[in-house]
Amino acid sequence: MVEIKSPAALEAMREAGRVVGNALVAARDAAAVGVRLRELDEVAREVLAKAGATSPFLGYRPHFAPTPFPAVVCVSVNDAVVHGIPTDEKLRDGDLVSVDCGATLEGWTGDAAISFVVGEARPEDLALIETTRRALEAGIAAAVPGNRIGDISAAIGAVADEAGFGMPPDFGGHGIGRRMHEDPSVPGRGRPGRGFPLRPGLTLAIEPMMMAGGRNAYRTDPDGWTLRTTDGSRAAHIEHTIAVTEEGPRVLTLP
């Protein structure tokens, strides 16, 4: 069932989203060569705790996962697309890092992700991140009343196709509100004019995941969570929670 949120609910979701945005900024600021992935999780936990928020990631176990997720952020490095578990692995110069974070505050949830490079960046990694950002912006711009979910998906897919990048076909954006994952789903590719109609008060997590090798195939690590490109190419993941409004899309997860 799709829940249309009231103006008061949108304001509450904005506060949850602000916590997410702040946690992502803190994690990015803490990321440096030699820092352990687990330390980024610790930084995000502190931001959530100070805000009085909880994590929808911690203990989450969808149908595909063999174990509950053990952290409040996903940290995916280089060829890891999404769902990377923070470990004691240390960041190295030139690593492409994606951090995904959620927060629940007073019953409402936000979800967002960022990608960045630690140390000296390769031009092709910066291009991948920039393309992913443009795909997100295109998807957000299409989130207006009168459009449909397919218009968002088509806008994201067009940016990916123009750049020659792949996207995992089984993972994408989703509705969000009282729970992290709600209806409707927001695929990375779609047909304009198809799918659920966009109405004011609809809240969505839009999250393009780009794979530089151009293939759509991925594999899952033995941990049952981390998705990696099958060809070893690098990946980027950028996400915002947004609300459809009469005045245009409203981003709820800015810091």
The domain that holds 39 is classified in CATH as 3.90.230.10
Rounded Cα distance between 109 and 15, Å, is: 9
Report strand pairing: 173-175 vs 203-206.
Answer: antiparallel
Q: For residue 51, which amino acid is it?
A: A
Does 108 reside within a domain? yes
CA 88 to the chain's CA centroid: 23
Does 113 reside within a domain? yes
Number of domains, the chain:
1
CB atoms within 10 A of CB 93: 12
Residues in the chain with pLDDT values less than 70: none
pLDDT tens by residue, 215-245: 999 999 999 999 999 999 999 999 999 999 9
pLDDT at 109: 98
Does 56 reside within a domain? yes
Does 215 reside within a domain? yes
Does 236 reside within a domain? yes
Burial of 87: CB neighbours in 10 Å, binned 0-12, 13-18, 19+: middle
Does 2 reside within a domain? no
Residue carrying the six token digits 């994201």: 156
CB atoms within 10 A of CB 185: 17
pLDDT tens by residue, 117-138: 999 999 999 999 999 999 999 9
Domain housing 94? 7-251
Q: For residue 162, which amino acid is it?
A: E
pLDDT at 242: 99
